[in-house]
Structure 1
Amino acid sequence: MTRWSKAFDRLMEVIAAILIVALLVVVTLGIVTRALGEPLIWTDEVSRFLMLWVAVAGWILASRRRAHIRIRFFHNLLPQHGWRAAESVMQSAMVVFGLLVSWYSVHLIQANYDLEATTVPLSMGLLYVPMLVAGVVTALQGLAELIDNIRNWHSPPFQPIAPTLQEAAE
Protein backbone atom coordinates (compact mmCIF):
# COMPACT_ATOMS: atom_id res chain seq x y z
CA MET A 1 0.00 0.00 0.00
CA THR A 2 2.84 2.42 0.72
CA ARG A 3 4.14 2.09 -2.85
CA TRP A 4 0.74 3.20 -4.17
CA SER A 5 0.42 6.00 -1.65
CA LYS A 6 3.93 7.28 -2.43
CA ALA A 7 3.14 7.21 -6.15
CA PHE A 8 -0.14 9.07 -5.51
CA ASP A 9 1.65 11.66 -3.36
CA ARG A 10 4.30 12.20 -6.02
CA LEU A 11 1.62 12.52 -8.72
CA MET A 12 -0.24 15.10 -6.61
CA GLU A 13 3.00 17.07 -6.11
CA VAL A 14 3.57 17.14 -9.87
CA ILE A 15 -0.05 18.12 -10.55
CA ALA A 16 0.15 20.88 -7.92
CA ALA A 17 3.37 22.22 -9.45
CA ILE A 18 1.88 22.22 -12.96
CA LEU A 19 -1.26 23.96 -11.71
CA ILE A 20 0.75 26.66 -9.90
CA VAL A 21 2.87 27.33 -12.97
CA ALA A 22 -0.24 27.45 -15.16
CA LEU A 23 -1.91 29.87 -12.72
CA LEU A 24 1.16 32.12 -12.70
CA VAL A 25 1.33 32.12 -16.50
CA VAL A 26 -2.38 32.91 -16.93
CA VAL A 27 -2.38 35.69 -14.31
CA THR A 28 0.82 37.19 -15.75
CA LEU A 29 -0.65 37.00 -19.24
CA GLY A 30 -3.76 38.81 -18.00
CA ILE A 31 -1.69 41.56 -16.36
CA VAL A 32 0.58 42.07 -19.37
CA THR A 33 -2.25 42.15 -21.90
CA ARG A 34 -4.19 44.66 -19.78
CA ALA A 35 -1.10 46.85 -19.49
CA LEU A 36 -0.76 46.77 -23.28
CA GLY A 37 -4.39 47.84 -23.66
CA GLU A 38 -5.51 44.57 -25.30
CA PRO A 39 -6.78 42.40 -22.42
CA LEU A 40 -7.52 38.73 -22.98
CA ILE A 41 -11.00 38.25 -21.56
CA TRP A 42 -10.53 34.57 -20.69
CA THR A 43 -7.66 35.00 -18.21
CA ASP A 44 -9.90 35.90 -15.24
CA GLU A 45 -12.16 32.89 -15.71
CA VAL A 46 -9.32 30.43 -16.30
CA SER A 47 -7.55 31.86 -13.23
CA ARG A 48 -10.67 31.13 -11.16
CA PHE A 49 -10.64 27.49 -12.28
CA LEU A 50 -6.92 27.17 -11.65
CA MET A 51 -7.09 28.79 -8.19
CA LEU A 52 -9.67 26.27 -7.05
CA TRP A 53 -7.67 23.39 -8.48
CA VAL A 54 -4.47 24.63 -6.79
CA ALA A 55 -6.28 25.01 -3.46
CA VAL A 56 -7.69 21.49 -3.71
CA ALA A 57 -4.28 20.05 -4.63
CA GLY A 58 -2.86 21.76 -1.53
CA TRP A 59 -5.74 20.37 0.56
CA ILE A 60 -5.02 16.85 -0.68
CA LEU A 61 -1.28 17.16 -0.06
CA ALA A 62 -1.85 18.57 3.44
CA SER A 63 -4.26 15.75 4.28
CA ARG A 64 -1.86 13.12 2.99
CA ARG A 65 1.02 14.61 5.02
CA ARG A 66 -1.13 15.04 8.12
CA ALA A 67 -0.28 18.73 7.94
CA HIS A 68 -3.83 20.01 8.34
CA ILE A 69 -4.37 22.38 11.23
CA ARG A 70 -4.67 20.59 14.55
CA ILE A 71 -4.40 22.09 17.97
CA ARG A 72 -3.17 19.29 20.18
CA PHE A 73 -2.63 21.14 23.45
CA PHE A 74 -5.58 19.59 25.30
CA HIS A 75 -5.42 16.43 23.21
CA ASN A 76 -1.85 15.75 24.39
CA LEU A 77 -2.88 16.19 28.03
CA LEU A 78 -5.11 13.11 27.81
CA PRO A 79 -4.00 9.66 29.00
CA GLN A 80 -3.13 7.11 26.31
CA HIS A 81 -6.62 5.61 25.86
CA GLY A 82 -8.27 9.03 26.06
CA TRP A 83 -5.84 10.29 23.42
CA ARG A 84 -6.65 7.33 21.18
CA ALA A 85 -10.41 7.81 21.72
CA ALA A 86 -10.22 11.53 20.86
CA GLU A 87 -8.10 10.68 17.80
CA SER A 88 -10.72 8.12 16.71
CA VAL A 89 -13.46 10.74 16.99
CA MET A 90 -11.43 13.25 14.96
CA GLN A 91 -10.61 10.71 12.24
CA SER A 92 -14.25 9.58 12.09
CA ALA A 93 -15.25 13.22 11.65
CA MET A 94 -12.67 13.49 8.85
CA VAL A 95 -14.26 10.49 7.09
CA VAL A 96 -17.75 11.98 7.43
CA PHE A 97 -16.54 15.39 6.23
CA GLY A 98 -14.85 13.81 3.18
CA LEU A 99 -17.98 11.85 2.33
CA LEU A 100 -20.17 14.96 2.68
CA VAL A 101 -17.85 17.00 0.47
CA SER A 102 -17.96 14.21 -2.13
CA TRP A 103 -21.74 13.92 -1.95
CA TYR A 104 -22.35 17.66 -2.37
CA SER A 105 -19.68 17.91 -5.07
CA VAL A 106 -21.52 15.34 -7.18
CA HIS A 107 -24.66 17.46 -6.85
CA LEU A 108 -22.77 20.64 -7.82
CA ILE A 109 -21.17 18.93 -10.81
CA GLN A 110 -24.56 17.67 -12.02
CA ALA A 111 -26.27 21.03 -11.43
CA ASN A 112 -23.61 22.94 -13.36
CA TYR A 113 -22.68 20.40 -16.03
CA ASP A 114 -24.87 21.93 -18.72
CA LEU A 115 -23.71 25.50 -18.00
CA GLU A 116 -20.84 26.73 -20.12
CA ALA A 117 -18.23 29.12 -18.79
CA THR A 118 -18.59 32.65 -20.13
CA THR A 119 -15.25 33.07 -21.90
CA VAL A 120 -13.95 29.52 -22.47
CA PRO A 121 -15.72 26.45 -23.87
CA LEU A 122 -15.67 24.51 -20.60
CA SER A 123 -18.50 23.19 -18.48
CA MET A 124 -18.92 24.98 -15.16
CA GLY A 125 -19.27 21.50 -13.67
CA LEU A 126 -15.50 21.13 -14.10
CA LEU A 127 -15.07 23.79 -11.44
CA TYR A 128 -16.36 21.30 -8.85
CA VAL A 129 -14.60 18.10 -9.99
CA PRO A 130 -11.52 18.77 -7.81
CA MET A 131 -13.80 18.99 -4.77
CA LEU A 132 -15.06 15.48 -5.48
CA VAL A 133 -11.48 14.19 -5.64
CA ALA A 134 -10.57 16.04 -2.43
CA GLY A 135 -13.60 14.64 -0.62
CA VAL A 136 -12.77 11.07 -1.62
CA VAL A 137 -9.10 11.46 -0.68
CA THR A 138 -10.03 13.08 2.65
CA ALA A 139 -12.46 10.26 3.50
CA LEU A 140 -9.92 7.59 2.55
CA GLN A 141 -7.14 9.33 4.48
CA GLY A 142 -9.35 9.63 7.56
CA LEU A 143 -10.32 5.96 7.28
CA ALA A 144 -6.68 4.87 6.95
CA GLU A 145 -5.70 6.95 9.99
CA LEU A 146 -8.68 5.62 11.96
CA ILE A 147 -7.72 2.01 11.18
CA ASP A 148 -4.09 2.74 12.10
CA ASN A 149 -5.20 4.33 15.37
CA ILE A 150 -7.36 1.33 16.26
CA ARG A 151 -4.58 -1.14 15.35
CA ASN A 152 -2.15 0.73 17.61
CA TRP A 153 -4.62 1.22 20.47
CA HIS A 154 -2.19 -0.11 23.10
CA SER A 155 0.90 1.67 21.71
CA PRO A 156 2.00 5.10 22.93
CA PRO A 157 0.09 7.81 21.06
CA PHE A 158 1.47 9.71 18.11
CA GLN A 159 3.48 12.70 19.29
CA PRO A 160 3.74 15.74 17.03
CA ILE A 161 7.12 16.58 15.55
CA ALA A 162 6.89 20.21 16.69
CA PRO A 163 7.89 20.79 20.32
CA THR A 164 5.28 21.65 22.90
CA LEU A 165 5.29 25.11 24.46
CA GLN A 166 7.03 23.77 27.56
CA GLU A 167 9.72 22.00 25.48
CA ALA A 168 10.27 25.13 23.39
CA ALA A 169 10.71 27.23 26.55
CA GLU A 170 13.41 24.89 27.92
Structure 2
Amino acid sequence: MQQRMIGIAGLLGLLARGALWVAGIALVAMTALVAAQVFARYVVGAPLTWTEPTSILLMGWFILLGAAVGTREGYHLSFDVLLMVLPQRIVRVLHSVSDLVVAGFGAGMAWFGFELLTRTWTASMPTLGLPGGVAFIPLTLSGVLIVIFSAERLARRAAGLKTARFGDEVTEE
Protein backbone atom coordinates (compact mmCIF):
# COMPACT_ATOMS: atom_id res chain seq x y z
CA MET A 1 0.00 0.00 0.00
CA GLN A 2 2.86 2.38 0.75
CA GLN A 3 4.34 2.09 -2.75
CA ARG A 4 0.98 2.81 -4.36
CA MET A 5 0.47 5.78 -2.05
CA ILE A 6 3.94 7.09 -2.86
CA GLY A 7 3.07 7.01 -6.57
CA ILE A 8 -0.25 8.76 -6.00
CA ALA A 9 1.43 11.33 -3.77
CA GLY A 10 3.91 12.09 -6.53
CA LEU A 11 1.08 12.76 -8.98
CA LEU A 12 -0.78 14.88 -6.46
CA GLY A 13 2.43 16.76 -5.79
CA LEU A 14 2.57 17.66 -9.48
CA LEU A 15 -1.07 18.74 -9.32
CA ALA A 16 -0.31 20.94 -6.30
CA ARG A 17 2.74 22.43 -8.03
CA GLY A 18 0.61 23.17 -11.11
CA ALA A 19 -2.02 24.85 -8.92
CA LEU A 20 0.70 26.99 -7.34
CA TRP A 21 1.97 27.99 -10.78
CA VAL A 22 -1.52 29.03 -11.86
CA ALA A 23 -1.94 30.94 -8.57
CA GLY A 24 1.44 32.65 -9.00
CA ILE A 25 0.71 33.65 -12.58
CA ALA A 26 -2.68 35.00 -11.51
CA LEU A 27 -1.03 37.05 -8.74
CA VAL A 28 1.55 38.54 -11.11
CA ALA A 29 -1.12 39.24 -13.74
CA MET A 30 -3.36 40.92 -11.18
CA THR A 31 -0.47 43.10 -9.99
CA ALA A 32 0.33 44.09 -13.58
CA LEU A 33 -3.32 44.93 -14.27
CA VAL A 34 -3.57 47.12 -11.18
CA ALA A 35 -0.37 48.93 -12.20
CA ALA A 36 -1.73 49.39 -15.73
CA GLN A 37 -4.97 50.77 -14.33
CA VAL A 38 -3.15 53.29 -12.11
CA PHE A 39 -0.96 54.36 -15.04
CA ALA A 40 -3.90 54.66 -17.42
CA ARG A 41 -6.06 56.59 -14.97
CA TYR A 42 -3.52 59.02 -13.47
CA VAL A 43 -0.90 59.41 -16.18
CA VAL A 44 -2.81 58.94 -19.42
CA GLY A 45 -6.16 60.14 -18.07
CA ALA A 46 -8.09 57.28 -19.71
CA PRO A 47 -9.05 54.57 -17.20
CA LEU A 48 -9.33 50.97 -18.33
CA THR A 49 -12.76 49.72 -17.28
CA TRP A 50 -11.97 46.00 -17.58
CA THR A 51 -8.92 45.80 -15.30
CA GLU A 52 -10.71 45.93 -11.95
CA PRO A 53 -13.17 43.06 -12.56
CA THR A 54 -10.40 41.04 -14.20
CA SER A 55 -8.17 41.64 -11.18
CA ILE A 56 -10.93 40.46 -8.87
CA LEU A 57 -11.35 37.28 -10.92
CA LEU A 58 -7.61 36.64 -10.79
CA MET A 59 -7.63 37.24 -7.03
CA GLY A 60 -10.17 34.45 -6.64
CA TRP A 61 -7.86 32.11 -8.52
CA PHE A 62 -4.73 32.76 -6.49
CA ILE A 63 -6.45 32.84 -3.12
CA LEU A 64 -8.52 29.71 -3.60
CA LEU A 65 -5.85 27.62 -5.34
CA GLY A 66 -3.37 28.70 -2.70
CA ALA A 67 -5.83 27.59 0.00
CA ALA A 68 -6.18 24.18 -1.64
CA VAL A 69 -2.42 23.66 -1.77
CA GLY A 70 -2.18 24.94 1.80
CA THR A 71 -4.58 22.17 2.78
CA ARG A 72 -2.30 19.57 1.21
CA GLU A 73 0.72 21.01 2.95
CA GLY A 74 -1.04 21.25 6.33
CA TYR A 75 -0.78 25.04 6.48
CA HIS A 76 -4.45 25.67 7.13
CA LEU A 77 -5.47 27.38 10.32
CA SER A 78 -5.01 25.17 13.37
CA PHE A 79 -4.42 25.35 17.09
CA ASP A 80 -1.58 22.96 17.90
CA VAL A 81 -0.75 23.73 21.54
CA LEU A 82 -2.86 20.84 22.89
CA LEU A 83 -1.29 18.46 20.36
CA MET A 84 2.15 19.05 21.89
CA VAL A 85 1.20 17.35 25.15
CA LEU A 86 -0.97 14.50 23.89
CA PRO A 87 0.25 11.01 23.00
CA GLN A 88 1.15 10.54 19.32
CA ARG A 89 -1.72 8.08 18.76
CA ILE A 90 -4.31 10.64 19.88
CA VAL A 91 -2.60 13.34 17.82
CA ARG A 92 -2.98 11.18 14.70
CA VAL A 93 -6.67 10.68 15.44
CA LEU A 94 -7.18 14.42 15.92
CA HIS A 95 -5.30 15.18 12.71
CA SER A 96 -7.53 12.70 10.89
CA VAL A 97 -10.66 14.31 12.35
CA SER A 98 -9.31 17.68 11.22
CA ASP A 99 -8.68 16.35 7.71
CA LEU A 100 -12.24 14.97 7.58
CA VAL A 101 -13.68 18.33 8.62
CA VAL A 102 -11.56 20.14 6.04
CA ALA A 103 -12.64 17.63 3.38
CA GLY A 104 -16.28 18.27 4.31
CA PHE A 105 -15.71 21.99 3.97
CA GLY A 106 -14.05 21.44 0.58
CA ALA A 107 -16.98 19.29 -0.53
CA GLY A 108 -19.33 22.12 0.44
CA MET A 109 -17.22 24.58 -1.52
CA ALA A 110 -17.29 22.33 -4.57
CA TRP A 111 -21.01 21.56 -4.33
CA PHE A 112 -22.30 25.05 -3.64
CA GLY A 113 -19.65 26.66 -5.86
CA PHE A 114 -20.85 24.51 -8.74
CA GLU A 115 -24.43 25.42 -7.94
CA LEU A 116 -23.53 29.12 -8.04
CA LEU A 117 -21.57 28.56 -11.25
CA THR A 118 -24.50 26.94 -13.03
CA ARG A 119 -27.11 29.38 -11.72
CA THR A 120 -25.14 32.47 -12.76
CA TRP A 121 -23.74 31.15 -16.05
CA THR A 122 -26.44 32.82 -18.15
CA ALA A 123 -25.80 36.24 -16.60
CA SER A 124 -23.10 38.36 -18.17
CA MET A 125 -20.35 40.35 -16.48
CA PRO A 126 -20.96 43.88 -17.79
CA THR A 127 -17.43 45.09 -18.51
CA LEU A 128 -15.96 41.73 -19.50
CA GLY A 129 -18.80 40.10 -21.39
CA LEU A 130 -17.99 36.76 -19.74
CA PRO A 131 -20.64 34.50 -18.23
CA GLY A 132 -21.22 35.31 -14.56
CA GLY A 133 -20.45 31.72 -13.58
CA VAL A 134 -16.81 32.21 -14.54
CA ALA A 135 -16.30 33.88 -11.15
CA PHE A 136 -17.20 30.62 -9.39
CA ILE A 137 -14.87 28.30 -11.33
CA PRO A 138 -11.98 28.76 -8.87
CA LEU A 139 -14.32 28.17 -5.90
CA THR A 140 -15.55 24.90 -7.36
CA LEU A 141 -12.11 23.73 -8.48
CA SER A 142 -10.54 24.63 -5.17
CA GLY A 143 -13.23 22.71 -3.29
CA VAL A 144 -12.51 19.61 -5.38
CA LEU A 145 -8.77 19.99 -4.76
CA ILE A 146 -9.32 20.41 -1.02
CA VAL A 147 -11.29 17.15 -0.93
CA ILE A 148 -8.59 15.36 -2.94
CA PHE A 149 -5.73 16.73 -0.84
CA SER A 150 -7.53 15.99 2.44
CA ALA A 151 -8.17 12.43 1.27
CA GLU A 152 -4.49 12.16 0.39
CA ARG A 153 -3.51 13.26 3.90
CA LEU A 154 -5.82 10.62 5.39
CA ALA A 155 -4.51 7.91 3.05
CA ARG A 156 -0.88 8.81 3.74
CA ARG A 157 -1.49 8.65 7.47
CA ALA A 158 -3.25 5.28 7.09
CA ALA A 159 -0.32 3.97 5.01
CA GLY A 160 2.20 5.07 7.64
CA LEU A 161 3.64 7.87 5.50
CA LYS A 162 4.36 11.44 6.51
CA THR A 163 1.82 13.98 5.36
CA ALA A 164 2.93 16.30 2.57
CA ARG A 165 5.06 19.40 2.89
CA PHE A 166 5.91 21.32 -0.26
CA GLY A 167 9.14 20.06 -1.77
CA ASP A 168 9.53 17.14 0.66
CA GLU A 169 10.18 13.64 -0.57
CA VAL A 170 7.54 11.07 0.35
CA THR A 171 8.96 9.04 3.24
CA GLU A 172 7.77 6.64 5.93
CA GLU A 173 7.08 7.98 9.41
Query: Could you say whether these structures have the same fold, taking a TM-score greater than 0.5 normalized by the shorter chain as the test?
Result: yes
1:73-88 mapped onto 2 (5 Å cutoff): 73-88=81-96
User: How many residue pairs get matched?
Assistant: 156
Q: 1:20 and 2:27 equivalent? A: yes
Identity %: 23
Q: In the alignment, which of 12, 15, 23 is matched to residue 8 of structure 1?
A: 15
Letter in structure 2 aligned against 1:14: W
Q: In the alignment, which of 32, 36, 53 is matched to residue 45 of structure 1?
A: 53
Higher normalized contact order (CA 8 Å, seq sep 6+, divided by chain length):
2
Specify every segment of 5 or more residues in structure 1 that has no aligned partner in the other structure, as ranges: 161-170
Given that residues 9 and 152 in structure 2 are in contact (C-alpha distance below 8 angstroms), is that contact kept between their aligned partners in structure 1? no
Cα RMSD over matched residues? 2.0
Letter in structure 1 aligned against 2:33: V
TM-score by length of 2: 0.82
Letter in structure 2 aligned against 1:119: T
Task: State the shift of 1:32 in Å.
Answer: 0.8
Specify every segment of 5 or more residues in structure 2 that has no aligned partner in the other structure, as ranges: 1-7, 166-173
1:132-143 mapped onto 2 (5 Å cutoff): 132-143=140-151
Task: State the shift of 1:147 in Å.
Answer: 2.3
Q: Deviations over 1:57-101 (max 9, x none)?
A: 211221222222222110222112221221121111111111111
Larger radius of gyration: 1
SS of the residue corresponding to residue 74 of structure 2 reads coil
TM-score by length of 1: 0.83
| Whole-angstrom CA distance in 2 between matches of 1:5 and 1:144 | 8
Given that residues 88 and 150 in structure 1 are in contact (C-alpha distance below 8 angstroms), is that contact kept between their aligned partners in structure 2? no
